[in-house]
A and B are shown apart, each in its own frame.
Chain A
Amino acid sequence: MFPQFGPTAASITKASTMVFRIGTDAHLYDDPEDVSIGPLLDSKFDSEKVDALKRLLALIAQGCDVVNFFPQVVKNVASQSLEVKKLVYLYLLHYAEKRPNEALLSINCYQKDLADLNPLVRAWALRAMAGIRLHVVAPLVLAAVGKCARDPSAYVRKCAANALPKLYDLRQEQTYGSIEELIGILLNDNSPGVVGAAAAAFNYICPTNLVLIGRGFRRLCEILPDVDEWGQIILIGILLRYAVARYGLPSRSSVGVSSENRSSFSKTISVNVDALPENRFGMTEGQVDDSNFISLLFSSYVEGQDEFLLRSNCTTKSSDFLESPGLSCGENHDVKILLQCTSPLLWSQNSAVVLAAAGVHWIVAPREDIKRIINPILFLLRSANSSLYVVLCNLLVFAKAMPSLFAPYFKNFFVHSSDSYHIRAMKLEILSIIATDSSIPLIFQEFQDYLKDPDRRFVADTVHVIGECAQRLPKVSATCLEGLLNLIRQESSENIMNMEEEGAVLSQAVVALKTIVKDSPAKHEKVIIRLARCLDIIKVPAARALIVWMIGEYCTVGRDFLQTIPVILQYLAQHFSSENMETKQQILNTTAKVVVCSQTEDMHTCIKVLIYVLELARCDLNYDVRDRARIVSKLLACHVNSQNAEGGRTHPVLNPSLHYELAESMLGRKVKPISHVPACSRFYLPGSLSHIVLHPAPGYESLPKPCSLANVDLHCSLEDLHEEKVTGDKCNSPGSSYTENGSSDSDSLSGSSEKERSDYDSQGPDSNENEGAASVDGGRGNGTSRLLLADVEDMQTSGALIHFSDVDAEYNELNQAADGNGSSSSHLNVSELLSKEKLESWLGQQQSMSEPRCPAEGISLPSTARITIRETDLTIKPKVHKLLDPTSGNGLGVEYSFSSEVSGISPELVCLEIYFENHSTEPLTKISVMDEGSSKSQDSVAQKLEIAEISVTPTQMQGIVPMEEIPCLHPGEGIKRFLHVRFHHHLLPIKISICCSGKKYPAKLRPDVGYFIKPLFLDLKTFVDKESQLPGMFEYTRRCTFTAHIGDLHSERFDGSASSDKVLVVAQRLASEILSNANISLVAVTIPVSVTDAHVKDVDDVSGLCLRFGCEISSSSIPCLLTVTAEGRYSGPLTVVLRINCEESIFGLNLLNRIGAVFA
């Protein structure tokens, strides 16, 4: 407008954008690296940290790799500022997988945050902790999730549900059980938001475990409208899956009706593919839906489609299904509830919810109720363009299966100018499917308008669809033909600008005509003639070729046409040389066909034309045309020759009749029209991704087999009642833990340990013996070990090796008193609970009876014995590691092993035994060991130290305490030295260098977690006490297999009777394995005792063998308790359960893994 102000205006806009950008993070995004980020991260001020973190985030956003800041960022996880925390989490989760070791260091912080009062902090900590996805911390995360699943804040519980798939992703089989259990708990939650997230977890982790849903099916249905929209989508799918698995597809649903011919009023029906075409039950609209298609569709929905297809011919099978116990109305009631609860969701604002709800109705609703989904689905057509595409994809299949449903609503599928090409194409297809005799005039009017559309590709599609409509509705085919012929004339007479696009329209028009003519060629003889006349004006090769093909194909249809054929052929022959390759080939075919089939009077001309065309084709430039000409001439040799005989050209024809027949069958016979088979016979559930991309996406689950769940559910519904009673009360107070015995303690044991305990208890009734017998038996068995009844206190005092006492009883007692947890894991049924309670009360009595414990007859007592194994009896072989290989060390070989001695200098030092040996032929001099870190100094190690600060606080920088130099080592000589080493972290190796004869050899000392501890001498009672103080979060278990004992048992030949000795051997072996791998002390061994007159029990069962070890972390004196329980028979591999209770979670976990590795 005012050009003179242009520059000013521009600068004003510029200035104003500058103003708007002030105070935003714009500068950080534009130039994140204009200051150095490192120092900012180490700053004392939160604001500077925030600044640095934002810069890092900007770099991530721009795709730069800033993983090298990881250690510095991790340090800040402990910050109190929520903003810093959030930003750190954002960074951390992006890179955690790349730097697992450093990420580990943040775990302690999360643990602390998990106990924070602010639910937001708890939730964040949980999300971050689960998000770093490290295998080692999986048990920790599981415990944390378990705790958060009972959090008072719904938000935290929701995050717990979301964390489950992360945990599951780590693929640790031992956690699966507990994860599913947690899903069960969360699905029962009171807060709808949590249920939604739990449903998502369920769908991801165990979509087939429908029994879990069966328990709360109705409750879930009722809560469904309150669940958040995203949860609804998932939950609807799950409920549908359950309903189908439990009750099958109701007989009155669309599929049921379509296959109702066999048994008219069976209650339910399984998918039945062999619906005969005459099934037209329940179709009130007078329009016949494609029941074959519906059956096919529904059989694709359910699992094991192929199986069903196979079964389709086997009528007995499907009637079996029908006669399987009919389902009572009560059971169908569930389906009704599902439908009731999903129908208001058809009004949801979220289109995915609407589609999911519509899918439920589509599959299980009675046929007459399906109508109610139409309007909501049509309303979905209002959604944004992107959703519209998906909606139409689904609608297309619905419409194909039941065109009558959508027929009255055809106007909704009229094309708008703003629709994209994909959407237009889909709308056209739907229109062609749902068109009826009554609506087709209006639709054709609409199509007329489309023909003028500037988008010619769309016009071509329209023309194609017109042909399809005409084929489907024979009444309108005459009008269509007229219209199409007019169109062809019009189009071809136009001066065409864009050949390609217009050509497409034209050839589509010819194709459409062909489809119409195909059905009854005799009726449309005139059309073919008119088309042939159009050849003059049609320039598009594809269209021409098709017309020529039609002439040949239908050359026998009528008299009039027959008469014109010679003329047409002459015309074609004239133009042959100027034709396109495609058309040339068709001309060849057509002439040959005419010669073979037609009975025209003017056969002579036709044959002449053929010969002429063949001659022309023989000299054609295109080899394809030449080849075809050769074939045709060979095939038709007899036809051609019969004419040419007088010309003197003779071909040796062996069997003219054979040739005739061959030519006849190749060119003459009408090809049987291929029946209308749906292009893709595989369909996917409505609303699924697979449905859009037309292949099964990973993770796609079809519906379960109908009624496959029926049996399972019966017994579970019984349990259900009890469950509901029990869990019902609990649900009311989600904050308190799920206690069974009434005592409430917010800390609870993880699921796995509960299971273990219940195993432990249930042993009781099994072993049918008493103490007295046990002691006698033990005494007789082994002469080397003395045996006496003793109290716990005796243990250390005497040299006795084995003590017997009623450990289990005590143990149970202690446990009951201490933890008060024993939560009802959902798999325990009531009868089991009862017997457990009985047992416990009975045990209590037993206690009060106290000494002298006279075995009452008939009473079964869990019988175990406690023994002490002297460590001297055990063979302890510390592992030897190689530090320097003689080949690389110029003849000097260095080996080290961890010593059980505790360093006298500082508790943080670890003692090593280093063994130097000279393998060379020359003496080596001046051997010493130096810390690489201290000599090379600060950069890398300093950084590591800072990281390590969080868990281990080094007071000195020095990595190793200097060792006195070895002046000289002669050839073949060896020397042993002690070395005190300070590892910075119990996993990170330290670099050292070995100096020898003036040369330096770098080497790495790898720490062994097992020697960061020192033995802790406890008695059993204190052990159990301590253990009970460290439940839940501080307890980790691991299962492994133990086989080393098998060799022992074979080498020392025992006479088969003394089975307890074998158990002893196993115990010894177990103990020595552990003791030689960790600096730990054996507290107690409890072995099961069996009687020799074993009339009850398997003699070789070691289940119940339990070893307890105690130690404390040398640097911090935090106690660490290890319990080893064995299960199985000693003749084969044993399952060993390792359990560690330790406050320092990371350390405990690493120790557990270290010891687990011993057995691996």
Chain B
Amino acid sequence: MLQCIFLLSDSGEVMLEKQWTGHQVDRSICSWFWGHVLSQGGSSKVPPVIASPTHYLFQIVREGITFLGCSQVEMPPLMALDFLGRVADVLSDYLGSLDEDLIKDNFVIVYELLDELMDNGFPLTTEPNILKEMIAPPNLVNKVLNAVTGTSSSMSNTLPSATASTVPWRTSNTKHANNEVYVDLVEQLDATVSRDGHLVNCEIYGEVQVNSHLSGLPDLTLSFANPSILNDVRFHPCVRFRPWESHQILSFVPPDGQFKLMSYRVANLKNTPIYVKPQFSSDAGTCRVHVLVGMRCDPGKQIDSITVEFQLPSCVVSTDLTSNHGMVNVLADKVCSWSIGRIPKDKGPSLSGTLRLAAGLERMHVFPTFVVGFKIMGVALSGLQIDKLDLLNLPYRPYKGFRALTRAGIYEVRG
């Protein structure tokens, strides 16, 4: 059981504490934790589960904010970490995004949420839809009311009926003027290209995101034209397992609003839409860099917002980089970012220049990894196709929309 949670800002200041059990955890644990983080050189270097002298600590970092949970007894660590992740999700959903000021400004709502999310160290209500019915998210009307009259309650007076229903993610009495449902395939291409140019690993991680605004209690069935290409799947709790097991059909009662219906993985792709070819040649304390970017196989739609980023090795003291297309920036933390945008028809974008190495170094012996980013609207690179979406239980004909989008996930080219 999680005994408490602390929200720490990026400077280690405790913004909030919420105790869930009677055994209160003293704040001093936070200073221990922060000391530990500093000694390890940043929170990314600290493992997410730490055994401190008095407590077991679970930490995740989102947008610079550390969510620190404490427990003194055995509990599944993934449960703790997933829960902290859920807290972060819910808060950023409520507040629009996550940052120190937003949390401080809305600390009462944060408290109310934390109280509802967990009871006595065990998660109570984590379903965002129900939470929103219990505790109203801060919106403009509320704010204005609050500013003008000083009275506005974010607490709802009634228990959301969904808490008792068999579909706890949905309220039964939803009403929409425009009934519509959108299904988006959002895919990420993960690829690793080795130093000698081989495609080591290439796979797609995709999500089926549904945005549903349907009245009543609709029952949807979504089927794919080629479900056999999916390697692994994970489902939103609303998906029924049986139909998927037997016919690979997604049958579900959707929550209201935006949600992630399913995530999937398609492994072992053979090709990437673009290529990035870096070359290094060093001599006498300088290193010449030449990076070429080009289209490998046309996905059929425009490839947008291509970026190439790489971290300069610590032995590089200064750079002189130019490109024939796009902008090159070297940021303060020695990250070089080259934003290309679209690939022009007439020429292949290239980046070239020299890196000066630190005194005494003849050649460069470590090489950076290039992280590539791109976006393709309208295409699911895995080739997954939605066959049809059937709606049962509905007296009306809603509008159905389908979209696809692919962007680069972890696309790495080793230099």
Interface residues of chain A, those whose CB is within 8 Å of chain B, are: 17, 20-26, 28-30, 46-47, 50-51, 54, 57-58, 60-63, 81-83, 86-87, 89-90, 93-94, 97, 118-120, 123, 127, 130-131, 133, 153-155, 158-159, 162-163, 165-166, 169, 191-193, 197, 200, 204, 225-226, 228-230, 233, 237, 344, 347-352, 354-356, 375-376, 378-379, 382, 384-387, 389-391, 411, 414, 416-418, 420-422, 445-446, 448-449, 452-454, 456, 494-495, 497, 687-690, 692-693, 695-701
Closest 8 pairs between A and B when the two form their complex, measured CB to CB: A23-B143, A386-B48, A352-B78, A699-B73, A344-B241, A26-B105, A379-B232, A24-B105
Q: Check A200–B151 contact: CB distance below 8 A.
A: no
Tally of B interface residues using CB under 8 Å? 111
Q: How far is A378 from B59 in the complex, measured between Cα atoms in Å?
A: 23
Chain A residues contacting B77 (CB-CB under 8 Å) are: 390, 687-689, 692
A382 to B204, CA, bound (A): 11
Interface pair A97/B22, CB less than 8 Å apart: yes
- Give the chain B neighbours of A54 by CB distance below 8 A: 108
A375 in contact with B105 (CB, 8 Å): no
From B112, B147, B168, contact of A193 by CB (8 A): B168
Could you tell me the distance in whole angstroms from the C-beta of B313 to the nearest C-beta in chain A?
5
Chain A residue at minimum C-beta to C-beta distance from B41? A421
Min CB–CB distance A194 → chain B (angstroms) = 10
B395 on interface, CB distance cutoff 8 Å = no
B235 and A348 form a contact (CB under 8 A) = yes
Identify 24 residue pairs between A and B in the complex whose beta-carbon atoms are under 8 Å apart, listed by A's number: A23-B138, A23-B145, A120-B156, A153-B163, A158-B124, A165-B121, A166-B120, A200-B1, A230-B79, A233-B76, A344-B241, A349-B235, A349-B237, A350-B82, A352-B76, A386-B60, A386-B61, A387-B48, A414-B200, A414-B201, A417-B412, A454-B366, A688-B77, A692-B77
Report the separation of the CA atoms of residues A51 and B108 in the bound assembly, to the nearest whole angstrom: 11
| Residues of chain A within 8 A of B205, CB atoms compared | 382
- Would you call A452 and B200 a contact (CB within 8 A)? no
**In the complex, A93→B121 CA distance in Å?**
14
Counted as pairs of residues, one from A and one from B, with CB atoms less than 8 Å apart, the total is 286
A47-B151 contact, Cβ under 8 Å, with A90-B115, A379-B234, A416-B412: yes
In chain B between 360 and 415, which residues have their CB closer than 8 angstroms to a CB of chain A?
A: 360-363, 365-369, 371, 410, 412, 414
Are A162 and B75 in contact, CB atoms less than 8 angstroms apart? Answer: no
Residue B346 at the A interface, CB < 8 A? no
Q: Is there contact, CB below 8 Å, between B120 and A162? A: yes
Contact partner of B112 among A86, A120, A453, CB < 8 A? A86
Is B16's beta carbon under 8 Å from chain A? yes
A233-B79, A420-B45 are known contacts; what are 9 more A-B pairs with Cβ within 8 Å?
A25-B105, A28-B107, A169-B21, A230-B83, A390-B77, A452-B367, A497-B358, A692-B49, A693-B49
* Chain A nearest Cβ from B22, distance in angstroms: 4
In the assembled complex, B179 has its CB within 8 A of some CB on chain A: no
Q: Are A349 and B153 in contact (CB under 8 A)?
A: no
Contact flag A387-B81 (CB < 8 Å), given A24-B105, A166-B22: yes
B258-298 CB mask vs A (1 if < 8 Å, else 0) is: 00100101000000000000000000000000000000000
Write out the residue numbers on chain B whose beta carbons fall within 8 Å of the beta carbon of A123.
159
* A58-B146 in contact (CB<8A): no
Would you call B56 and A693 a contact (CB within 8 A)?
Answer: yes
Q: How far is the CA of A344 from the CA of B234 in the complex (A)?
A: 10
Query: Whole-angstrom distance between the alpha carbons of A90 and B115 in the complex?
Result: 8
Q: From A190, which residue of chain B is reached at the shortest CB distance?
A: B166
Q: Which chain A residue has the least Cβ–Cβ distance from B415?
A: A452
Structural contact, B78 and A390, CB atoms closer than 8 A: yes
Contact check, A29 vs B104: say whether CB atoms are below 8 A apart. yes
State the CA gap A969–B58 with chains docked (Å).
71
How far is B115's CA from A225's CA once the two chains are assembled, in angstroms?
A: 26
Assuming A389-B49, A687-B78, is B360 touching A497 (CB within 8 A)? yes
Evaluate contact between A25 and B75: CB separation under 8 angstroms: no
Q: 1/0 contact trace for B206-231 toward A, CB 8 Å?
A: 00000000000000000000000001
B48 to A51, Cβ gap below 8 A?
Answer: no
Q: B15 at interface (Cβ–Cβ under 8 A)?
A: yes
Q: Is B333 an interface residue (CB 8 A)?
A: no
Per-residue CB contact flags for chain B residues 123-134 toward chain A (1 = under 8 Å, else 0) read 110110000001
Partner of A351, one of B15, B82, B236, B414: B82
Q: Is the CB of A422 within 8 A of B150?
A: no
B119 contacts partner chain A, Cβ-Cβ < 8 Å: yes
Give every chain A residue within 8 A of B319 (Cβ-Cβ).
none
- Asked whether any CB of chain A lies closer than 8 Å to the CB of B44, the reply is yes
Q: Which residue of A lies closest to B232 (CB)?
A: A379
- In the bound complex, what is the Cα–Cα distance between A392 and B120 (angstroms)? 29
Contact A165 B157 (CB under 8 A): no
- CB distance B159 to A24 under 8 Å? no
User: Contacting B107 at CB < 8 Å: which of A61, A131, A355, A497?
Assistant: A61
Chain A residues with CB under 8 Å of B414's CB are: 449, 452
Q: Give the Cβ gap from A450 to chain B, nearest Cβ, in Å.
A: 9
Give which listed residue, A22, A46, A83, contacts B147 with CB less than 8 A.
Answer: A22
Contact of B138 among A24, A29, A391 (CB under 8 A): A24
Contact A495–B360 (Cβ < 8 Å): yes
**In contact, A689 and B56 (Cβ under 8 angstroms):** yes
Is the beta-carbon distance between A390 and B44 smaller than 8 angstroms?
Answer: no
Interface residue from B119, B236, B244 paired with A127 (Cβ < 8 Å): B119
Cα A351 to Cα B124 in complex, Å, equals 18
Distance in angstroms from B282 CB to nearest chain A CB is 12
- In the bound complex, do residue B49 and residue A689 qualify as a contact, i.e. CB atoms below 8 Å apart? yes
Contact check, A162 vs B153: say whether CB atoms are below 8 A apart: no
Q: Which residues of B contact A386 (CB under 8 A)?
A: 48, 58-61, 81, 85
